[in-house]
Amino acid sequence: MYDLIGDIHGHAHELETLLQQLGYHEVHGVYRNPQRRVIFLGDFIDRGPSIPRVIEIARSMVEHGQAFAVMGNHEWNALAFHTPNRQHPGEFLRPHTDKNIHQHRATLDQLSSRDLNAALAWFRTLPMWLDLDGVRAVHACWDEPSMQLLNEARDSSTIITDDFLHAASREESPLFIPLETVLKGKEIPLPVGVTFADKDGHKRSRMRARWYADPTGQTYQSYALTNEVICEFPLEESVIPSAQAYPTDTAPVFFGHYWLRAEQPAILATNVACLDYSVAKHGFLCAYRWQGERTLSNDHFVWYPRR
């Protein structure tokens, strides 16, 4: 059975405490539980105070068969940030703007050049999703059309190659939107004149959607995955045909990414759960103890610090 853990963002103390709560103990440098394994949902880096330790814990668990891990958008962003742009010499696939440098600053400050290169090499090996024994894991959105396109482009490669990085980083590429969908989720434009401020205070005119839900009869506010959006206008008809609700009779899917805010975690649908509860923004690190069930239960969440 699996314990799924959401976005960590360099918070090693919270991670080690949560692992201990879940019954894992460090033996010869690796956290282990003889009956269970962890599935990490990505976003190991940026923001937090102990990024090297988080990478060390997660990577050692994966390499010793005690965990699986999927790539988060912050790992993808790091690869693009440090990969020179072939089409524009002297630049990188992720531009070194003030905003992007600020987001990546904690990682740049905490990792030596050697450790950074080792981390980037490990990130290249991470799958973008997992479909295991009756359970699914992805960083932001389970979208099979996007996954099929990404699989075809990877051509069975087990690592993220420079060719794939370049192809999926270009906005004009047919891989750009599928990559954004899987690692960053589906976004839809808000009505003209409607905006909101995100967690970092940036003004947004697009909202993160409840991609797993049926959009029929929804307003923008009810179909938004986070609670910053206040707009009771009905969804425009153009949004509805492109949405594909996650089937209720399909294997449970777990994801992170969305910086949810709550006093305690809760499932989003009978077979859908988000495990990102903003540990890097005064929230908590969250896990779900999956016992093989197809119908998820709020009783299976474990989190730290518990409020």
Over residues 8-44, the pLDDT tens digits come to: 999 999 999 999 999 999 999 999 999 999 999 999 9
Phi, psi (5° rounding) for residue 105?
-55, -45
Backbone angles phi, psi at 270, to 5 degrees: -60, -25
Q: Please give the pLDDT value at position 241.
A: 63
User: 122 and 50 share a domain?
Assistant: yes
pLDDT score of 178: 96
Supply the mean pLDDT for the chain: 94
Give the pair of three-digit tokens for residue 50: 């102990």
Average pLDDT over residues 208-214: 93
pTM: 0.95
Mean pLDDT of 72-85: 98
Please give the residue range of the domain that contains residue 256: 2-144+248-304
Flag whether pLDDT at 205 surpasses 90. no
Final residue belonging to a domain, choices 202, 218, 242: 242
CATH of the domain at 281: 3.60.21.10
pLDDT of residue 59: 98
CA distances to 55, 61, 83, 93, 244 from 167, rounded to whole Å, are 27, 31, 12, 10, 25
The stretches of 185-218 forming alpha helices (DSSP H) are none
Query: In angstroms, rounded to a whole number, what is the distance separating the alpha carbons of residues 176 and 172?
Result: 7
Sequence-ordered alpha helix ranges (H) in 96-171: 98-110, 113-123, 144-154, 162-169
Per-residue pLDDT band for 111 (boundaries 50, 70, 90) equals very high
Integer Cα distance of 213 and 74 in angstroms: 25
* Count of the separate structural domains present in the chain: 2
pLDDT at position 20 is 98
* 55 and 102 share one domain: yes
Q: Sorting pLDDT into bands at 50, 70 and 90, what band is 202?
A: confident
In percent, how much of the chain has pLDDT > 90?
83
What does the alpha-carbon distance between residue 201 and residue 220 come to, in Å, rounded to a whole number?
20
Same domain assignment for residues 117 and 253? yes
* Residue 175 covered by a domain: no
CA distance 285 to 276: 7
Give the model's pLDDT for residue 204.
83
Q: Are residues 131 and 13 in the same domain?
A: yes
pLDDT, tens digit, 9 for 90 and up, residues 227-283: 888 888 899 887 766 778 899 999 999 999 999 999 999 999 999 999 999 999 999
Judged by DSSP in three states, 153 sits in helix
Per residue in 114-142, pLDDT (tens digit) is 999 999 999 999 999 999 989 999 999 99
Q: Is the pLDDT of residue 307 over 60?
A: no
CB 42, CB 73: distance < 8 Å? yes
User: Same domain for 130 and 201?
Assistant: no
pLDDT tens-digit readout, 47-71: 999 999 999 999 999 999 999 999 9
Q: Where is 20: in which H helix or E strand? A: helix 12-21
CA distance 205 to 221: 13
> pLDDT exceeding 70 applies to what percent of the chain?
98
